[in-house]
Amino acid sequence: MRLLHLADLHLGWRPEGWPEERAEQRRQRRDAVLAGAVDAALAEGVELVLIVGDLFDHFDPPTDLVDATLEQLRRLEHAGIVPVTVPGNHDELTYGTSVYRRRRAEWPGVLVAEPAPAHLASLELGGVPVHLYGMAYTGGVTGADLPLRDFPRLERSGVHIAAYHGVLGVAAPGARTLSLDEEALAAARYHYVALGHLHDPIRHRFPAGPAVYPGAPEALDFGDGGCGTLTVAEWDGEAMAVRELPLAVQRVSDVALDLTPVDDIGEIDQAVAALADPDAVQRVRLEGALWLPELDVRALEERHAHAFFHLEILDDLTGLAPELIARWAEEASVRGAFVARMLERLQGSGTASRERLERALRWGVAALAGTGAPSERVRPPEGPP
């Protein structure tokens, strides 16, 4: 008996702040990951496909996306493969307009709607009895204050498989997702625990079998690069053996360039050009102390954007090189007076205002040199405004 384990596809996700046409192209590229996974399921001869949460990025996705998704799931059914869909926290079941409520009657395979851990179904797959367990978080019904500890298991022969979209341990306060007690889940003696929610591939060893996060196969954004793999598990008569299959996905890369030793803009251009890939979504973070006050980050990005599917260059520089600032502060010039005064302000500044003052110093020097204030793409703030 062989299964394909998927989670966190986030179909329908679109990048923000991109040009409209390119953002739509990126969405379409990402959404094709489901068809790729179905192709792999057919090629691998699996009997079961587990989709463990966040199949969609939103609980009420567009109709055309839902129709296309149902078509892919029907491909599995027509091949004799059972799809099991577990709602996640992005495509949560709770809401009245949830896709899983609106389209439940036509959903292929097993659609999980139980608000507490339950036995979902018992199937005969590959000549092996398979018992499925799981649940779907439902706001106002599912208990969320403490990690779940009550996990059912039938005392029947065969393979026992559980599917939960959540975290092992305690979820963050206020998070609308499942918290699963790891010891209790291990004690339930499932032969395979299919997990979702964490986007990195992770395996836990439980006494009866592994608990697996397959990871998000296709990246959402920078810092969420996607694993580019699919997870297949196979019952050998005694245990579940797990392996990964490569999946063709669009490359999303985040690279840091340290400009501390660089004193020629041409070197920066060469470093960015060396990353060129017309199919890549690329972010370049400029770090270190800058010797080039005239550097225009926006112009740098524009010069190289044509060589990438999408390029972003972030200014994460700590400011101008201290040696350069000290030398300028000694000058008998308007620039020298400006730099000396800014140094006084920096020395009396707190951590909160230091970055702003360093940026003002850099812009001011550029303006005095006649190059104007450099336009920059600055890292967006972390967390809520």
Residue 379, pLDDT score: 57
Q: Are 273 and 304 in contact (CB under 8 A)?
A: yes
pLDDT tens for each residue of 292-335? 877 888 999 999 999 999 999 998 887 788 888 888 889 899 98
Residue whose pair of structure tokens reads 């985040």 in the numeric block: 254
Distance, CA of 90 to CA of 87 (rounded, Å): 8
- 334-347 and 351-368 helices cross at what angle (nearest 10)? 180
Residue whose pair of structure tokens reads 């367990």 in the numeric block: 133
DSSP state of 308: E
pLDDT tens for each residue of 246-271? 999 999 999 999 998 888 899 999 99
**Helix/strand/coil for 217:** coil
Residue 383, pLDDT score: 46
Residues spanned by CATH 3.60.21.10 within the chain?
2-246
Tokens of 351: 């951590």
Q: Which listed CATH number (3.40.50.620, 3.30.1330.60, 3.60.21.10, 3.60.15.10) goes with 2-246?
A: 3.60.21.10
Residue 201, pLDDT score: 96
pLDDT grade for 363, boundaries at 50, 70 and 90 = confident
Tell me the whole-structure pTM to 2 decimals. 0.88
pLDDT tens for each residue of 188-239? 999 999 999 999 999 999 999 999 999 999 999 998 878 999 999 999 999 9
Residue 377, pLDDT score: 61
Residue 385, pLDDT score: 35
**Helix/strand/coil for 219:** coil
| CA 165 vs CA 3, 7, 272, 371: distances in Å | 17, 8, 39, 53
Q: Report, as an integer, the average pLDDT of 280-287.
A: 95
